[in-house]
Amino acid sequence: MKIQNRRLSQSGAVSLFVVIFSALLLTIITISFVQLMVKDQRQATASDLSQSAYDSAQAGIEDAKRLLILDQSCRNGTAAPSVNCGQVTAALALVPGTLQTACNTLGQSGIVNQTGGETIIQQTTTDNAAKLDQAYTCVKIAVDTADYLGQLENDESVIIPLKGDRAFSKVELSWFSDQDLSGTGNLDIAFPDTGANVTLPRVGTKWKTNSPALMRAQLIQLGSTFKLSDLDASGGGGRSDANTLFLYPSAAGLPPTVDKDFLVDVRRDPTNAPQPIFCKSNIAGGGYACQVSLKIPDPVDGDVNNRNAFLRLSALYNKAHFQVKLKDSAGGDVKLSGVQPEVDSTGRANDLFRRVVARVELRGDFTYPNAEINLAGNLCKNFSVTDTNIGYSSSASCLP
């Protein structure tokens, strides 16, 4: 009997231990689950606020674009009578000692309202959006910039107005960064040909994915009394209005310390093309692989003080990020004026801030000429003259 009672007592103790252990285990699981839920909720809230703050900063960028367009219309005399051009011009005045305007530029211009030094984003206060409390707190604009930044896909072109805050006579072009490599972690540069007698190869025969693009640089400019015939002028006396250079990446090319003259033009002397340009063999230290200083001739009907110049860049065989700077005759930096303003915007959502720095393209008062069709392969065109409807659809096969 005693033995049986002892066994029952031991069995009861084991059951009690199992119950207590199970309760502790369930408690631990429940607490861990709640902690995970709270952590996920905090992450989701932070992510939502971060995106909202980013959107607020983007709103500041868009409002800055409106101000820049208004300023452009004021300067060319096309602004609506309701626009206070004096107020717009005053808002874009630089803070002394800096290259940027003040934080409250948009408020000073009169295109947005500010409350407590910031511009509220949400349109209503009755929906859930109001809980984010979105606003941008500071928007600075630098109309003049030290450089022009861009990127080109393979066979893509861009036209850049060359407008300096003072006279310039050179263009410094850098291209092909680590963003243009294949993404394998290898920062070594492969050169299609390092010899002196380089040629333009067929697509797919020499260029590798980590070879810098061959850049086609085309200059067109005019002075004060331009004539169409000036574009075909011979370039005598160191003057020319239209030139083209093919800049060939090479390990043994022209170093950036030596100027390449635009007058060495493929159209004027085919033996001079393409031009080998020195490029680094590795870009582990950042920056661009290739760099060249291009000397710009004086326009046929003008000089360095009254040139109106445009640079057309095309990336051939590969894509390329690039940078363009203006230089004076002594190699000093010249700022690009009103070509690609920089906007620095800080947005807020509740107590979380995000900052966005963006470049804005100002395309001037007219549309730059460019190709309607830009393609790498053959283009097939059929031309026919007909006076019947069926004639438009019965053209013969096209064999380029």
* pLDDT above 90: residue 312: yes
Predicted pLDDT at 270: 64
Q: Among all chains, which residue has been given the structure tokens 């363009």? A: 324
What is the chain's mean pLDDT, rounded?
85
Q: How many CB atoms lie within 10 A of CB 347?
A: 28
Could you tell me the pTM of the whole model? Answer: 0.79
* Residue pair 314/216 in contact by the 8 Å Cβ criterion: yes
Q: Which of 99, 98, 76 is nearest to 88 (CA)?
A: 76
Q: Indicate the pLDDT class of residue 92, thresholds 50, 70 and 90.
A: very high
pLDDT of residue 371: 65
Share of the chain above pLDDT 90, in %: 44
Q: Which has the closest alpha carbon to 149: 341, 346, 370?
A: 341
Residue 2 has pLDDT above 80, yes or no: no
The predicted structure's pLDDT at residue 393: 61
pLDDT tens digits, 337-355: 989 999 999 999 989 999 9
Q: Are 60 and 77 in contact (CB under 8 A)?
A: no
Please, which pLDDT band fits residue 1 given cuts at 50, 70 and 90? low
